[in-house]
Structure 1
Amino acid sequence: MSTRSRRSQRSYAPSPASDSAPFSPSTPTTTTSEPRLRPPSPPPDASANILLFLVAFRLVNALTVRTFFQPDEFFQSLEPAWKIAFGESQGPWITWEWKHQLRSSLHPLIFAAVYSVADLVARTLGLSPASRADLLVAAPGVTEAVIAAVGDYYTWKLARYIYGDRSYESWATLALTVLSPWQWFCSTRTLSNCLETTITIVALNLWPWDWATETSRREPKTRNVNSDRIRLCLLLAAFACILRPTNILIWIYIGGVALHRSTWEEKQTLAREALLSGSAILTVSLIVDRFFYGFWTFPPLRFLYFNIAQSLAVFYGKNDFHYYISQGYPLLLTTALPFTLFGLYRILKNRHAERSVLVQLATVSLAMPGVLSLVAHKEVRFIYPLLPALHILSASPLVKFFLPAVATTRREYLPRRLIFIFLILVNVVIAVYTTVFHASGVISVLSYLRQQHDLHGTAAKRDGTDLTYGGITAGFLMPCHSTPWRSHLVEPTIHAWALSCEPPVDFSETEKAVYRDEADQFYDNPTQFLRDNMVGGLRHIPRRPSYSAPPNAARLPTQHNTPHEWPDYLIFFAQLEPTMKKLLPGAAYAECWRTFNTAWHDDWRRHGDVIVWCLDGAEQQAWRAEKHRREIEERDRQFDHIVQAFRKDAAKPSEKTWFSWGSSPSSSWNWPWQRRKRTTLFGVELPQVLDWNWPWKKKRGFLAGLGF
């Protein structure tokens, strides 16, 4: 073996004292024919510093998210959590999945505890209702930020295990997950997929990867068995499968490879721990669901029955078979997609024994989308747990392409440096737009309603079950689940209703084919829907808001009462505005608030701003005055721009034409033979030759500072 190749192998071998590897591999994980420098070993406290940085980073991430992504972010986690923490009388919207026991209550139970703690803090500090509402709205996101940071941290640790502590690839993996637009957009949301992703990557760090290597098969006596780590790994894996039954696809493959390549003793250990861990999580899940639902049930089985046997998932959308390839991977990876594809190709083409971890990650990253493609309903978040593995697979091609451009200043790598900067800027722009601007109006409108409740409503008593229902009323003429609900409305005295979209449960195939939910019925014929489903139809519309009238009998804050009452506030998208003006020409409703929602949307019913109409004449007048003030400010701003432009043009020296020729006394043009005033230096006249004023000659340097 040459000196060059020996030096290359040493540079890629992981440190034997690595604290990031749960089971140290017996062979180098990466080899190359080209020697290169490695970054210095991280200090002992680097892991703690990285974790603290990621927690702080994700906290900022969570507190800057102002947009709407998926209804499940609220209706499959926060609404049932609100019910657990505060009771059903507080007005949570419990969707049909919970009524038919399709979801495990373990996930909402986490946020129920968060709500209870946040409410206790608000009581202890004596916060105002508005401050308490802000705390309850922010608390779940802050919790999810810590969970997301743990996921980022263990993604970096798994990369260190695979590539070695002294590897650029591990740091590239960390950079990929920190700069990922999808991670910034989605990781701090309260979706079960986000918790599933973190649990999966933590479990993969604890997995005994050396049991599945060819080298370990030849040398079984050199390995140590850590039952505690395996047990914790399988507990987390079982929890992930209870949260999202599709997660079992990952562990079927990973576990199958380990069982195939491990020794008999290891097979026994793995089977025993899997049985114990699975039974423990299953028992806990059954007990918790028994208390939540009030009877014994098994949600994963119900989930499979409704979504596969009855095909109810198709009711929420049907996608092409290539969805995960043509849309799923591009949305998850954005600018990292080319490096991921190259990494997958290179790893699966060269299936070396020492790369068995990468081979398994690459295989499961293709197998899971392949299986899920057989289901008609597809969403990119269903393959979200694969993103940490995909970042790890992308790290090596990324380093190979950009490291020479970043580590050196050679001009030949200038295009790569420009590409590197461009990709970072693209990621930042996408992340900012999707988390601050896109679909932001449906979140901010609920803050507006809370403000109006503080002005006009009556706060509920929180020291018992005796509630005062004297708040405002609101109706959402939008596609179902377009906004969050009680998790953002907070106060139970905000009486609200919205169009629903219950699926055709237990319907025949013929009935399913013609079934139209409430939202569909409204958009099919808004006029007929309002006549049939509003109290008084289109003839008897109230002239003033409910909070200005004498209090009537207590009304429960529910969104399911039909026919719907005409509310104090009507909320809809700008797409519906011409229709509403046509249907309610002489009504007391008028615009009292409007906000930007998004520049584009794939659902035509959600186009345009979010608009609020109200019955309060004072609010309408205040809003008209506010709009007029904004118009005047905008007009003044444009006028100031025009004035500034004229001033800049006037300050510029006028351009001379061919017929000026310096005849003007103020002309700055001088022919070379035209003499100027003699120039002196400390009273001594300088030679005339230095005083020639060529048209192209510029004053610069020391002589310019002396005045010539």
Structure 2
Amino acid sequence: MPPANTPARRVAPADVSTSATNILLFLIAFRILNAFTLRTFFQPDEFFQSLEPAWQIAFGKEQGAWITWEWRYQLRSSLHPLLFAAVYKASDFLATSLHLSAATSAELLVASPKVAQAIVAAIGDFYTWKLATRIYGRDSRGSWTTLLVTLLNPWQWFCSTRTLSNCLETTITIVALDLWPWQWSAGGSPAGDSRKNERGTAEDRALLSSLRQCLLLSALACILRPTNVLIWATLASIAWFRNSWDKRIILIREVLICGSAILAVSAIADRLFYGLWTFPPLRFLYFNIAQSLAVFYGRNDWHYYLSQGLPLLLTTALVPALVGLYQTLTNRSFSASDRLQTMTRIQLATICLVMPFVLSLISHKEVRFIYPLLPALHILAAQPLVRFFAPAIYYRSSAAYTPQRLLLIFLVLVNAVIAFYTSVWHASGVLNIMTYLRQQHEAHVTDTSFFSGPTNKGITAGFLMPCHSTPWRSHLVYPTIDAWALSCEPPIDFSESEKAVYRDEADQFYDDPAQFLQDNMAGGLRHLPTRPSYTTTPADPSLTGSKHQHQWPDYLIFFQQLEPTLQPLLRMSFYRECWRTHNTAWHDDWRRTGDVIAWCLDTTEQDTWREKQRQTELARKRWATATSAITNTHEFHIDRMLEALKNSEAQSQNSGWARFIPSRSTFSLSAPWSSNQPSMREKFAAWRRGVAAYFGPRPSRIWRLGRSTPNVRDWIPDPRCFLSWRWWVLGESLELTRERELYS
């Protein structure tokens, strides 16, 4: 079996450049498609640590962005939101220049960050392939396998186009890894030769330029996510111990220069965003380690990254990645020609072990914390995959590799199913509800202009959900949508005893919903609104004192799990269900189980929803009746079908049913199917004649969706059409039944 780095063919430099450009364009189109098919919720940080501060940067503090406690205490770098703030400004400028309607402009503002992140994800995929070409060869099976594994990975489809800082960190990391001077860690490079000829000097300059670009990007990744320093500290340590003092001095000098440049840019950006001089990475470590606030969001077992993190990242590629990791670290037999490639794989395997090990020492763990390792794991998984599946692909005529082919098809199908379910179906309702509220605002409010003054009036919405269960202004878009939700501020500057008994607002609500609503809603449970706010005068100021945190909204949003609790509490109110959408079939948080439900005060909207539900139920009953009739027809008319077959055959002159059944005298156990037996075509033709005799001609009308007619029956499928695909199977079973009766 040829190794993974065996090139399939040689290509000219011009062909290589064209191929790389085409691959990049394909990846951009692929990830844009990925971004627009992603309709599910994953992590609140996708919105609250990127898009919400970006919205405030782009449009101002008065436009309703939700700024969480991390931003108030300067724990996050403003560099990541600045990217999306620029995207928002460009989208707003485009919408204004093209004079787009408010609804179209809102859709553009929702979609533009997805496109931007899709391009970022495509760049990450492209540089994963580029680094694989450094290791396995420009046009090798290993490099193409790495690209295919990256594209088929369900986690990549599910997560790479989300606006998480971890996704940008992953892309920056793989680009920087491609620029890293691996020659320094391999024990020799052109830059270390004593010969100072012209070629060596040019290679030295190119290597130094690549190092500077790498360090700039790695410093940026560490500013975005301080844990990224584990990767670069590991690689720098290996380079330090494998080089002379000349290289060490160069490395220290470039680290100081590039690191200082990125720190200066970050400090200026944070000064403009926060209004004071601050250093977010240091404050991030202080709050999460010194004050242990990360534990407030959950504790995990020490083996989390091994038992859950890596399986979630790699799914079906887990075994090849572990095999590649083991073989890379244990195989020491390599030739001098592939020394650089082997040492590169060893260093990639090393960072894939060091980073999870160190992060396992922290109580709070999440799979996305080790996301930057995924490209390296894909590269390591490529060689075992090539060795196992390549013979099944390239030797198609051999039946010996059929199990490998079937396994490959199975793995691809499993990846596709997981990707579809997690990106389209699971936890989709919490995004759909934001689209619904935006559409209701457009339907009920005449002035839907963007970024209007605070005097403009829109709909109101309240979310009785665990904190950060939905996106916020990035999906509500309109600043005049007045919305509130339960919060979950951590116990900052609390003592250990106070932290032990601390309950945030969401916890207080789920501890006792009735008492919470009585104490924290304007008017309690006795004075509830009767009409939506967009049809009435402003609320009574006497009900908005400091004691009350929330106003009763036009739309009350909650998960289905809470429905039995709210129904008795609000049975005397004017709130009724006006919308419902599927969210998920299961959830690890019991508070988030079931559909997402919206109750509203608008009676017209309630009536419309009830009528829609009634029509849906009628359609369901009609479908159940039709399928039941078909089933009953099959069971009830078997004997009559047999009789019709006999009568039809008796009227036929050319062929008959009797000639298909051997007589009792000619029946033989040793030769049950003699040469006198008819062909399949003849048996099928006879069967169709028998069915036609009983049912009439084969129905031609199945669906008439394209025909405009007031007759509703023309839109309903003829139940007989469902028998058409069962003719042959049922005919065979009837014929065998008849033969058993004759020969018994």
> Under a length normalisation based on structure 2, what TM-score does the superposition of the two structures give?
0.83
Output the CA distance in 2 between the equivalents of 1:534 and 1:553.
13
Q: Which residue in 2 is equivalent to 1:598?
A: 584
Pairs within 5 Å for 1:584-623:
584-623=570-609
1:124–1:553: structure 2 CA closer, same or farther, 3 Å change rule?
farther
The AA in structure 2 aligned to 1:542 is P
After superposition, the C-alpha distances for 1:5-39 in whole angstroms (9 at most, x for unaligned) are xxx9xx86xxxxxxxxxxxxxxxxx78xxxx7735
Q: Is the 8 A contact 1:460 1:468 kept in 2?
A: no
Output the CA distance in 2 between the equivalents of 1:473 and 1:654.
64
Q: Which residue in 1 is equivalent to 2:432?
A: 444
- State the SS of the aligned residue for 1:539: coil
Q: Is the 8 A contact 1:440 1:596 kept in 2?
A: yes
1:263–1:582: structure 2 CA closer, same or farther, 3 Å change rule?
same
> Is 1:220 aligned to 2:193, yes or no?
yes
Q: Which residue in 2 is equivalent to 1:85?
A: 58
> Is 1:285 aligned to 2:258, yes or no?
no
Shift of 1:256: 1.0
Shift of 1:639: 2.9
Output the CA distance in 1 between the equivalents of 2:523 and 2:81.
39
Q: Is the 8 A contact 2:65 2:472 kept in 1?
A: yes
Q: Which residue in 1 is equivalent to 2:224?
A: 243
Q: Which residue in 1 is equivalent to 2:69?
A: 96
> Is 1:633 aligned to 2:597, yes or no?
no
1:105–1:561: structure 2 CA closer, same or farther, 3 Å change rule?
farther
Shift of 1:643: 4.5
Q: Which residue in 2 is equivalent to 1:54?
A: 27
Q: Is the 8 A contact 1:169 1:395 kept in 2?
A: yes
Output the CA distance in 2 between the equivalents of 1:383 and 1:248.
12
Output the CA distance in 2 between the equivalents of 1:228 and 1:37.
29
Q: Which residue in 1 is equivalent to 2:657?
A: 668
**Structure 1: gaps spanning 5 or more residues:** 1-7, 13-29, 675-691
Output the CA distance in 2 between the equivalents of 1:577 and 1:606.
12
Output the CA distance in 2 between the equivalents of 1:138 and 1:572.
25
Output the CA distance in 2 between the equivalents of 1:108 and 1:215.
41
Q: Which residue in 2 is equivalent to 1:203?
A: 176
Q: Which residue in 2 is equivalent to 1:388?
A: 375
Q: Is the 8 A contact 1:469 1:554 kept in 2?
A: no
Shift of 1:483: 0.1
> Is 1:507 aligned to 2:488, yes or no?
no
Pairs within 5 Å for 1:160-559:
160-216=133-189, 220-221=193-194, 224-225=203-204, 226=206, 227-352=208-333, 354=339, 355-409=342-396, 410-459=398-447, 462=450, 466-551=453-538
1:193–1:668: structure 2 CA closer, same or farther, 3 Å change rule?
same
1:75–1:117: structure 2 CA closer, same or farther, 3 Å change rule?
same
1:695–1:356: structure 2 CA closer, same or farther, 3 Å change rule?
same
> Is 1:563 aligned to 2:533, yes or no?
no
Residue in structure 2 matching 1:573, options 559, 566, 571: 559
Output the CA distance in 2 between the equivalents of 1:290 and 1:108.
14
1:262–1:469: structure 2 CA closer, same or farther, 3 Å change rule?
same
1:664–1:165: structure 2 CA closer, same or farther, 3 Å change rule?
same
Q: Is the 8 A contact 1:217 1:261 kept in 2?
A: no
Shift of 1:700: 5.9
Q: Which residue in 2 is equivalent to 1:678?
A: none
- State the SS of the aligned residue for 2:658: coil
Q: Is the 8 A contact 1:545 1:616 kept in 2?
A: yes
1:346–1:655: structure 2 CA closer, same or farther, 3 Å change rule?
farther
Shift of 1:484: 0.2
Output the CA distance in 1 between the equivalents of 2:446 and 2:128.
48
Q: Which residue in 2 is equivalent to 1:681?
A: none
1:693–1:460: structure 2 CA closer, same or farther, 3 Å change rule?
closer
* Range with greater deviation from structure 2 (519-528 or 453-462): 453-462
**Structure 2: gaps spanning 5 or more residues:** 665-672, 686-744
The AA in structure 2 aligned to 1:156 is W
Output the CA distance in 2 between the equivalents of 1:695 and 1:653.
27
1:40–1:669: structure 2 CA closer, same or farther, 3 Å change rule?
farther
* Range with greater deviation from structure 2 (218-227 or 528-537): 218-227
1:39–1:643: structure 2 CA closer, same or farther, 3 Å change rule?
farther
Shift of 1:271: 1.6
Output the CA distance in 1 between the equivalents of 2:391 and 2:458.
64
Output the CA distance in 2 between the equivalents of 1:459 and 1:183.
41
1:661–1:245: structure 2 CA closer, same or farther, 3 Å change rule?
same
Output the CA distance in 1 between the equivalents of 2:160 and 2:471.
18
Structure with a larger share of its residues in helix:
2
1:165–1:654: structure 2 CA closer, same or farther, 3 Å change rule?
farther
Output the CA distance in 2 between the equivalents of 1:622 and 1:342.
58
Shift of 1:265: 2.7
Output the CA distance in 1 between the equivalents of 2:76 and 2:298.
19
Shift of 1:270: 1.7
Pairs within 5 Å for 1:659-698:
668-670=657-659, 696-698=677-679
Output the CA distance in 2 between the equivalents of 1:697 and 1:621.
63
Output the CA distance in 2 between the equivalents of 1:467 and 1:424.
52
Output the CA distance in 1 between the equivalents of 2:320 and 2:663.
66
Output the CA distance in 2 between the equivalents of 1:307 and 1:131.
41
Q: Is the 8 A contact 1:530 1:537 kept in 2?
A: yes
Output the CA distance in 1 between the equivalents of 2:21 and 2:635.
58
Q: Which residue in 2 is equivalent to 1:16?
A: none
- State the SS of the aligned residue for 1:594: strand
After superposition, the C-alpha distances for 1:633-661 in whole angstroms (9 at most, x for unaligned) are 2222233334455677899997769xx99
Shift of 1:584: 1.1
Shift of 1:441: 0.2
Q: Which residue in 2 is equivalent to 1:38?
A: 8
* Range with greater deviation from structure 2 (570-579 or 628-637): 628-637
Q: Is the 8 A contact 1:475 1:571 kept in 2?
A: yes
The AA in structure 2 aligned to 1:456 is H
After superposition, the C-alpha distances for 1:522-567 in whole angstroms (9 at most, x for unaligned) are 0011111111111111111111111111356999xx9x99421110
Output the CA distance in 2 between the equivalents of 1:460 and 1:454.
6
1:166–1:120: structure 2 CA closer, same or farther, 3 Å change rule?
closer
Shift of 1:581: 0.4
Q: Is the 8 A contact 2:450 2:478 kept in 1?
A: no
Q: Is the 8 A contact 2:580 2:597 kept in 1?
A: yes
Output the CA distance in 2 between the equivalents of 1:623 and 1:371.
53
Count of residues in correspondence between the two structures? 650
Shift of 1:578: 0.2
Q: Which residue in 2 is equivalent to 1:686?
A: none
Output the CA distance in 2 between the equivalents of 1:629 and 1:570.
24
Q: Percent identity?
A: 59
Output the CA distance in 2 between the equivalents of 1:672 and 1:89.
89
- State the SS of the aligned residue for 2:627: helix
Shift of 1:218: 12
Q: Is the 8 A contact 1:144 1:189 kept in 2?
A: yes
Shift of 1:469: 2.8
After superposition, the C-alpha distances for 1:111-161 in whole angstroms (9 at most, x for unaligned) are 000000000111111111111110000100100000000000000000000
Q: CA RMSD in A?
A: 2.9
Output the CA distance in 1 between the equivalents of 2:649 and 2:278.
99
After superposition, the C-alpha distances for 1:318-355 in whole angstroms (9 at most, x for unaligned) are 00000000000000000000101111111111145621
* Range with greater deviation from structure 2 (166-175 or 322-331): 166-175
Output the CA distance in 1 between the equivalents of 2:439 and 2:370.
39
Output the CA distance in 1 between the equivalents of 2:577 and 2:495.
43
